[in-house]
Structure 1
Amino acid sequence: MKVISIKFPIKEKPIKENMVVALGFFDGLHCGHQALIKHAKEIAAKKGLPLGVMTFNRHPKEIYQNDKTFVYLNTLKEKEEKLAKLNVDYMLVVDFDENFSKLEPQEFIDQVVLKLNIDTAVVGFDYTYGPKDVANIENLPKFVKGRFDIVVEPKHMEAGQKVGSTNIRHAIETGKIELANKLLGAPYTTSGIIVKGYRRGHTIGFPTANLKVEGDKVIPAEGVYATRTLIDGKWYNSMTSVGYNDTFENKELTIESHLFGFDEEAYGKAMTIAWYKYMRGNEKFAGIPELSAQLKKDQEDIQKYFNQLDKK
């Protein structure tokens, strides 16, 4: 897959050949996004054309609503990795800046989409390209004027819910990680670098790797989770705590992962946590013995969970 950065105004067409293009932001590349892109791939194969996916380097809310706290399900790097696995030929990343944000719907079609040598656009049922009351699916044919085909992917449902990035973010932020994973079609992941912590876990037999998160990612709700953690190319069953460690009254939020069967110094190394199940909320314990006993029980419960999961 080739990644192409695009900045408006587009002076030269980034791709010379005709393409089928999936349009959207695609945060999380959830089940609905995957269905849309697979459908687009089928259309491209039938027409003998490459498949492109157009996305943005930042969410429109950051510009339109001046939202400096917006958090993502995927970093751009993670999105790239997922699109490559879906056999996309071109990832087209548009720089969503102030200049681009001022485009009228007709200008967006004429000066951006048509610059992609587009044969067919594949979009979700709720796709927008400006103000929702104007730049919606119903009005898209009016702006396109028959210059390329439009294929609309219907609403995608999973676990009785509409599959959408907003719903998934809310599920993660409220500890409903199993629901989020169903909607994503895979465990939610958080990546970054291992940094030094307070090392209290080492003193009570539960050493942890502290994660400094890469990018503005959604952080799961405070609590203890069944996770799998990747270090040096190997996945370990693990238990991960998100919170302030009430027993020791930490002042800043930490993400600490205790990897089963791993006890090495790994500061500075890359680490990825895959979140599977919310186990319990954070508690303040009377002392170290009570905390140690609970951590031992957590490890037993989580190992039992993974043993059952692996049998399915």
Structure 2
Amino acid sequence: MQIIKLHHPVDHTKLTTEPVVLAMGFFDGVHAGHREVLTTARAKAAELGVKFSVLTYNQHPSIVFKQHTRPIRYLTTLNRKLALFEELGVEIAYVADFTSALAQLTPLDFVNQYMVGLNAQAVVAGFDHTYGPKNVATMAQLPGFAAGRFEVIEVPEVRIDGFEGASTHARELVDHGEIEALNHLLTIPYQTSGVVVHGEARGREMGFPTLNIETTAGERLPAEGVYITTVNVNGVWYQGMGQIGHNITFGDHRPQTLEINLLDFKAEVYGEFVAVRWHKYLRGEVKFTGMPGLIEQLEQDERDTRTYFAQQQ
């Protein structure tokens, strides 16, 4: 997949002149609704015999329009999003820097520069996609701006489990730890990443050594609790059980950590960049009176984890 970075104003003389079908959106999560847009665009590109391309953005547009008191956390970082695009057959990914200069374009100027200017033969987006002020830059109004220069394909709402397949709902599911519902919406297991760092080695002391993972900046972790996970270490996926929490058994006011015990895994992998897939919420974090109670619970968590994976076979 070719990745082309765009910064406004774009010098179109440096871009390819080949025709494309252009799927548009921020695509945070690349969930079922997004996949319908991408699948539709891919089919149209095949029909026309042109490249399947995507126009997305380096950061959430709200950064330009309002103050954020906390850092924005994404369902999919840009790198993860691009990897998913490639898996779905995207041939050209245009990544535009969302800046004030870009946001100030009129809808017609945006169409001229970022649709016609990218040689779109057809533009595909979800029913709620906008390319400027919401009252004047809707998908219903896009054919007027296109003026016959490209086909407009509006993808209708996709509903999953009675909810619109939208990033807002996906974020709510992550924040509440509703991983199985989230994975149904995403159509694949939710995934985060990070680097294995040193911890306090308490897990090893209890017979449950853990990978302490420093999460990649900008990623959205599930709610605190214990989960069934798989972890990719150096290209191999391992089954495990992970906890997001504060290790409250060992004291109050401790920092939040992500620790994952991999089943039947003993190697030291400090410094490795790993991917974590989240499969099921098991329980909340519990404060035990001492190690024996915690060890007993961890043994039950391991049994539950092994049973889960056995049932998936």
**Percentage identity across aligned positions?**
39
Tell me how far 1:97 sits from its aligned partner. 1.6
Shift of 1:9: 0.6
CA distance in 2, matches of 1:137, 1:41: 19
Quick one: distance in 1 between partners of 2:117 and 2:4?
13
Pairing 1:162-311 to 2, within 5 Å after superposition:
162-249=164-251, 251-310=254-313
Deviates more, 1:159-168 or 1:252-261: 159-168
Please give the residue correspondences for 1:1-312 in structure 2 after superposition, counting only pairs within 5 Å: 1-13=1-13, 14-67=15-68, 68-249=70-251, 251-310=254-313
**Kept after mapping to 2: 8 A contact 1:228/1:273:** yes
| 2: CA distance, partners of 1:35 / 1:201 | 43
Q: Which amino acid aligns with 2:298?
A: L
CA distance in 2 between counterparts of 1:291 and 1:129 reads: 52
Moved more, 116-125 or 263-272: 263-272
CA displacement, residues 146-184 of structure 1 (integer Å, 9 cap, x when unaligned): 221100111111222211111111101101010110000
Q: Which ranges of structure 1 fall in alignment gaps of 5 or more residues?
A: none
Cα distance in 2, alignment partners of residues 111 and 191 from structure 1: 35
Q: How many angstroms apart in 2 are the aligned matches of 1:230 and 1:17? A: 38
TM-score normalised by structure 2 residue count: 0.96
Q: Is 2:22–2:115's contact at 8 Å kept on the other side of the alignment?
A: no
Q: Secondary structure of 1:297's partner?
A: helix
| Paired residue type of 1:144 | A
Write the letter of the residue equivalent to 1:46: E
Q: Is the 8 A contact 2:248 2:254 kept in 1?
A: no
Number of equivalent positions: 310
What is the CA deviation profile of residues 104-125 of structure 1, one whole-angstrom value per residue up to 9, with x for unaligned ones? 2222112222210111001101
Report the Cα distance in structure 2 between the residues aligned to 1:15 and 1:21, rounded to whole angstroms: 14
- Runs of 4 or more above 6 Å deviation: none
Letter of the aligned partner of 2:259 in structure 1? E
Q: Find the aligned partners of 1:70 and 1:61 in 2 and give their Cα distance.
A: 10
Native 8 Å contact 1:10 1:115 kept in 2: no
Contact 2:28 2:75 in 1 (8 A): yes
